[in-house]
Amino acid sequence: MNKPIIEVKNLRKTFKIKQKNPGFFGGFSSVFKPDYKVVDAVDNISFSVDEGELLAFIGPNGAGKSTTIKILTGILYPTSGFINVLGFNPSKERQKLAYYIGSVFGQKPQLWYHLPPMDTYNLFSRIYEMESKKFRERLKFLTDTFEIEDLLKTPVRKLSLGQRMRCEIVAALLHRPKIIFLDEPTIGLDVIAKKRIRETIKYLNEEERVTIFLTSHDAGDIETLAKRTIVINQGMLIFDDSTEELKKNFIKTKIIELVLEGPTDDFRFPGGKIIEKSKYDLKIELDISRMTIEKLLNYAVENFDIKDINIFDPPMEEIISAIYQKQAN
Amino acid sequence: MKRSFLKETLKYLEVAKVNYLNTSVYTVNLISRSVLVVVRIWAFTQLYQVAFAASRSTEIGGLTVPMVIWILMMTQSFQSSTRPHVSQLIDEEVKSGTLAYMVNRPYSYALFHYFGYLGRTFSSLWVNLAIGSLVSLALVGLIDFNWWGLLFGLGLLIFGVTLNFLIYLIIGLTAFWVEDTSAFTWIYSKGQLVFGGLILPLALFPENLLRIAEILPFSQLFYSAARVVVDFDLSLFWHYALIQIAWLAFFGLIAYQMFQRGIKNVSINGG
């Protein structure tokens, strides 16, 4: 039986945001009589994460997910509540905790932009006080696993986004963290790069038993990787169950894009709704609880010459709004 | 985790090294700063030769024209090497929320910036000094250097750049409470210009003004080191060193207090 390594009880975080009236006098008056708006970024949430879990923590923009991660890693002070990460209180023992956790914030790179990744790795080995031999062994293992051997001496600014993200993940794993926080690790990546990052995340979790706390707007990341999903909206926890359950209940549609050799005029498939149509290209929304993708593809292959097929999940915002709608009802 | 002094030292030396390497990537930038120093030394040489000739003296306040030029070459080189200003970096880190990600690592935020600043400073300092010395040599010739002066001057320089760092750190940390710190940076840089011996060595000041200027922090950044290098005087060294230590303690305490208070106010864009 796995034990929880992250415990959060009744966590709250409020931000005081200074308000300013428009115009010269508005700005002037706010100097003498400042007006503040209090925002509940995280509103009384509780959950726990077991050792070795791969958990997706999702929600729309401004839902409070990044704030929660920042509190768990000790970056932000909570307003109230109990937090325990690997036996540490992050806000009081931030630096001690830092030796045992790794983080990749997709929008906050940690590699030195003008230097090759190797320079950052050397720096990190010193920062995390690693012994030279252990560092070399670990780096060899990670460079082999992530296939970045050829990138070590190339300045980061000359790497592609996907290559850079793999190097970022290696930087976060050098000191063998027990938990890794991944905040939008696939943001801005193409399909192939996304696939590769997902494979490496999966590998980390399955082979190295690293607990992974993942946030993403990409439904594909969650579907492929996470066994459990927590959904947060407006600072409140609105779903905490298996990803299978989430899919069964809320991901009911798929978007299928077909590019045909001939015109799309005669395309009529009863089980799907055409949401976009041009001369050779169409997008069909399919309710997968009623109709299978296989049937649609069979129809398309039998009746048309297909040039290209793409299958998409509905945007995460739609899934969230479906969950939210259900909550409201 | 057990702390080891050796590991802590290696940690910060690596920070200095990475910053040194990162700054050295921009060779053109490094050399362009030296070009600016060279132009200024040339202009100062013309100016002070005319000024000394007009006053019909070869020595003012104990300094000859070559001594003045070597002092100004050093103060200009020291000051130019400390760019970009730490306050700018910290200001950006506070506003963008990057600071919060940095304090989440197992190192001291202030020491991380201090050693980074030393790494960046050293990368351009030796270039500035090498080019500046050659130009000064060509313009006014060699002066009578003393090895003790160089050694003790180096000590004052280390204190001086540390003092400069602390002041910029404080200015940067004000970003926790004010929206724009550039006004403070501007005032500080003007203080340096007037009282820091960057265009006029303090020894040329009238006696009363000299006494005041010497106890201000501006003169203790770079001028004190340059002054001791060109004309070594042990009592002058101790005079400057004590003023520097007092300012270091004062600004160190303020920076510590500000950081402790500011870090609790950290908020990050996005959430």
Return the higher-pLDDT residue of B99 and B140.
Answer: B140
Give the tokens for residue B93.
Answer: 């880190």
Q: Which of B106, B212, B217 lies closest to B161, judged by CA?
A: B217
- Going from N- to C-terminal start, the domains of chain A cover 4-249, 252-312
- So what's the pLDDT on residue A104? 84
Q: What is the mean pLDDT of each run of 10 residues along chain A (329 residues)?
A: 85 82 69 76 93 90 84 88 94 88 82 94 94 94 88 94 88 92 81 83 89 86 88 88 82 86 86 87 87 89 89 72 69
Cα gap B38→B34, rounded to integer Å: 6
Is the CB of A74 inside 8 Å of chain B's CB atoms? yes
Does some domain include residue B270? no
Cβ pair A74:B98 closer than 8 A: no
Banded pLDDT at B271 (limits 50, 70, 90):
very low
pLDDT at B3: 64
For CA atoms B92, B244, B107, A162, the dihedral sign is: positive
B interface toward A at CB cutoff 8 Å? 1, 4, 7, 10-11, 13-15, 17-18, 21-22, 25-26, 98, 100-101, 103-107, 264, 266-268, 270-271
Task: Give the mean pLDDT of B25-51.
Answer: 88
- Mean pLDDT, chain B, as a whole number? 90
Q: What is the CA radius of gyration of chain A?
A: 23
For A28-60, what is each residue's pLDDT tens digit?
A: 666 667 777 788 889 999 999 999 999 999 887
Residue B26 maps to a domain = yes
Domain contains B62: yes
pLDDT in tens, B69-104: 999 999 999 999 988 889 998 888 887 777 777 777
A123/B98 touch (CB, cutoff 8 Å), yes or no: no
**A153 phi, psi to nearest 5 deg:** -105, 10
pLDDT score recorded for residue A317: 63
Which one of 3.30.413.10, 3.30.70.890, 3.30.70.250, 3.90.940.20 gives the CATH number of domain A252-312?
3.30.70.250
Q: Which of A300, A317, A258 is nearest to A283 (CA)?
A: A258
Structural domain harbouring B227? 5-263
- Measured CA to CA in angstroms, residue A34 lies from A17, A20, A21, B177 at distances of 10, 8, 10, 13
Give the pLDDT confidence score for residue A316 in this predicted structure: 62
**Contact yes or no for A103 and B104 at CB 8 A:** yes
Q: Name the pLDDT band for B269 (thresholds 50, 70, 90).
A: very low
- Candidates 1.20.120.530, 3.40.640.10, 3.30.365.10, 3.40.50.300; correct CATH number of A4-249? 3.40.50.300
Best of A129, A132, A181, A217 to disrupt the B interface (most B CBs within 10 Å) is A129
User: Does residue B18 surpass a pLDDT of 60?
Assistant: yes
Q: How many domains does chain B have?
A: 1
Q: Tell me the average pLDDT across B49-61.
A: 90
Alpha-carbon gap: A110 to the closest alpha carbon of chain B (Å): 9
**What predicted TM-score, i.e. pTM, was given to this entire model?**
0.80
* Predicted local confidence at residue B104, as pLDDT: 77
How would you write chain B as a 3-class SS string? CCCCHHHHHHHHHHHHHHHHHHHHCCHHHHHHHHHHHHHHHHHHHHHHHHHHHHCCCCCECCECHHHHHHHHHHHHHHHHHCCCCHHHHHHHHHHHCHHHHHCCCCCCHHHHHHHHHHHHHHHHHHHHHHHHHHHHHHHHCCCCCCHHHHHHHHHHHHHHHHHHHHHHHHHHHHHHCCCCCHHHHHHHHHHHHHHCCCCCCHHHCCHHHHHHHHHCHHHHCCHHHHHHHHCCCHHHHHHHHHHHHHHHHHHHHHHHHHHHHHHCCCCCCCC
Distance from CA of A270 to the nearest CA of B (A): 42
